[in-house]
Structure 1
Amino acid sequence: MKRIYDWDASFSLRNYTAADLRALKGKQKLTQTTANSVEEAAAAADAGIDLIMGNAQNTKAAREGAPHLFFTAAIALPDFPTEADVLSAAFEAMKDGADSVYTARGPHVVELLAKEQIPVMCHLGLVPRRCGWHGGLRAIGRTADEAVELWKAFRRMEDAGAFSVEAEVIPAPVMEEISRRTSLVTMSLGSGSGGDVIYLFQNDICGEDTKRPRHARAFGNIHALQEQIRAERRSALSAFREAVHSGSFPARPETANIDDQALSEFMDRIARESGT
């Protein structure tokens, strides 16, 4: 563990720092997943995941669940439209314990954050919210011209001061060649094993949904458990209603009692007072 002070001047420990991740580039494969709650962060930590990433507003929860994991706070594209908004959100997330900040914005925003010495993760390849420029959801870099343009985009982000990149749905051979030539720590999401970090959303890993992207693999089946819970909830509620209607609930073990002498005295007294 590395000893650090966070942006709130609080002493803490981290499994990795930005400097560590740069030093490990090309030498050691790491894992990253999402964490947007205390439980998700704690599960990632308990499972030995190296890095976690979540929405900036969930930084405190992620930090509570995984106090020592390197956490990247994502500043959602549509929620912080101006540069001032982005900078404010970044400072707040870093104050809450984030170790880096993610943005899907262009080099000008990356540069804005990097000038404040915030480790910045950019986003290249398939950026889903901007997929209309590429004709929809598809891999980016499948032609030589497109792959060269992608490489140039990596270089622009390097020049802007980015520290790492979410590299999404890039052909694996292209990702491998770019990753070994760029100084950016590459987080491969659907881009093969050539990245420095293999990244997958926690809901996909755990099988929380029946539909997943082609690049994702479910290593669990939480969806089946959720369906079981859903069915069990309705079964229990129906059984409760039927028990009430049949008179079997509440039964003697589920009700408070009074001894016979006290009950007799009570009934005598209210009979006198009520005249009945």
Structure 2
Amino acid sequence: RSSRNKSGSRSKDKAVDRSLSVASASKATGSKRGNQESKGKKTHGGSVEVQPTVSHILQLKGKRPIVGLTAYDAIMGRAVSDSGVDFLLVGDSVGTTLLGYDTTIPVTLDDMVRHTAAVRRSNPNCLLVADLPFGEASLSFDRLLESTRRLMQKGGADAIKLEGGKDVADDIEKLVATGIPVLGHIGLLPQTVKAIGGYRKYGASKEEAEALYTDAIALEEAGCFAIVGEMIEPKIASELARQVLPPLIGIGSGEACDGQILVTTDLLGWSNGPVPSFVRPYANLNQIVSKALGEFVQEIRNRQLPTK
């Protein structure tokens, strides 16, 4: 880990060394698909952009906001990738969006590998991050490493996301040392929602704010290329973004973060459950799809076989 001097500040040289190791891991991952950084991709508007890697994400801090969205299958993955986002996340939120669960806890590693592979098949050149599901980081490092390898080798992920702060920092440091890029996650941790009694904001009290800072520094020093900050009080999130080296990518944590990520189905109004209050839907696909399917059903019943 990076050291601190007598005044309590971090040793920037060591922090930079850790960041460089993340960039090296990114290049190693990217080599699977052949020099991503020069290959590029076409966006929705038809222009060609340099293919993002985790080192690009790290370098965007302070330059422009980073944008991430979730995807769970080939069709959604292609649409999200074509929008021009910086990275796609195959989140364990697949459990609550597509699989009908009330929480993300029932989602298995097999589920995550299957859905990650589906997104990868339609997006061979996107920067793809996969969530490590509930329980995979709590048994042993060997189990964690094997689970991560499956997500990358079988699922095609470029990086993994792991919930937790200082409690998982040692394992993250070991993963980064083996060349595995890691996206951290602090604040509200959906995999612990049953233990904490529901969804709420974090950082309102001095104790919680200090704990968030401790977690963020631990993840920085462990080598995370970025950190998701979920449901953090905006003032605290702003301060964290200012103080830590990796980009802080917010979800429900205010506009002062280094970037934003949202669940795509919430953004599109394509959800069976309630949408978080911080989400502004950009469409109402529930209504659009229901109307289209209803018209089809009615025409068939009226013996009006649809034609082109």
TM-score calculated relative to the size of structure 1: 0.77
- 1:138 Cα shift? 0.6
Equivalent residue for 1:32, pick from 44, 55, 68: 68
Query: Is there any run of 5+ residues in structure 1 with no aligned partner, and where?
Result: 244-248, 250-276
Aligned partner of residue 102 in structure 1, secondary structure: strand
- 1:237 Cα shift? 5.8
Q: 1:36 to 1:129 in 2, by over 3 A?
A: same
Q: 1:40 to 1:159 in 2, by over 3 A?
A: same
Q: Which residue matches 1:61? A: 118
Q: Which residue matches 2:280? A: 217
Count residues with an aligned counterpart.
Answer: 240
Equivalent residue for 1:101, pick from 148, 160, 185: 160
Query: Is there any run of 5+ residues in structure 2 with no aligned partner, and where?
Result: 1-25, 38-50, 92-111
Give the 5 Å matches for 1:109-258. Answer: 109-132=171-194, 134-209=196-271, 211-232=274-295, 234-235=297-298, 238-239=301-302
Q: Which residue matches 1:246? A: none
Amino acid at match of 1:75: L
Aligned partner of residue 226 in structure 1, secondary structure: helix
- Are 2:124 and 1:88 aligned? no
Q: 1:184 to 1:4 in 2, by over 3 A?
A: closer
Whether the 8 Å CA contact 1:8–1:97 is kept in 2: the answer is: no
- 1:140 Cα shift? 0.3
Whole-Å separation in 2 of the counterparts to 1:6 and 1:135: 38
Whether the 8 Å CA contact 1:51–1:70 is kept in 2: the answer is: yes
Whether the 8 Å CA contact 1:102–1:121 is kept in 2: the answer is: yes
What per-residue deviation string (whole Å, max 9, x for no partner) do you get for residues 120-144 of structure 1? 1121001123235544311000122
Whether the 8 Å CA contact 1:77–1:103 is kept in 2: the answer is: no
Aligned partner of residue 180 in structure 1, secondary structure: helix
Whole-Å separation in 2 of the counterparts to 1:24 and 1:203: 26
- 1:239 Cα shift? 4.4
Whole-Å separation in 2 of the counterparts to 1:6 and 1:134: 36
Q: 1:60 to 1:134 in 2, by over 3 A?
A: closer
Q: 1:122 to 1:237 in 2, by over 3 A?
A: same
- 1:35 Cα shift? 1.0
Amino acid at match of 2:291: Q
- RMSD (Å) for aligned C-alpha atoms: 2.6
- 1:6 Cα shift? 3.6
Q: Which residue matches 1:71? A: 128
Give the 5 Å matches for 1:261-272. Answer: none
Higher-Rg structure is 1
- 1:31 Cα shift? 0.9
Aligned partner of residue 210 in structure 2, secondary structure: helix
Amino acid at match of 1:155: I
Whether the 8 Å CA contact 2:57–2:225 is kept in 1: the answer is: no
- 1:215 Cα shift? 1.6
Q: 1:225 to 1:78 in 2, by over 3 A?
A: farther
- Which stretches of structure 1, 4 residues or longer, exceed 6 Å deviation after superposition? none
Whether the 8 Å CA contact 2:87–2:128 is kept in 1: the answer is: yes
- 1:93 Cα shift? 2.4
What per-residue deviation string (whole Å, max 9, x for no partner) do you get for residues 62-119 of structure 1? 2222222211111111466533332112112223432211111522432332231211
Equivalent residue for 1:45, pick from 69, 75, 81: 81
Amino acid at match of 2:298: S
What per-residue deviation string (whole Å, max 9, x for no partner) do you get for residues 7-63 of structure 1? 784425252122222121122112110011111111012222221100441222222
Aligned partner of residue 163 in structure 2, secondary structure: coil
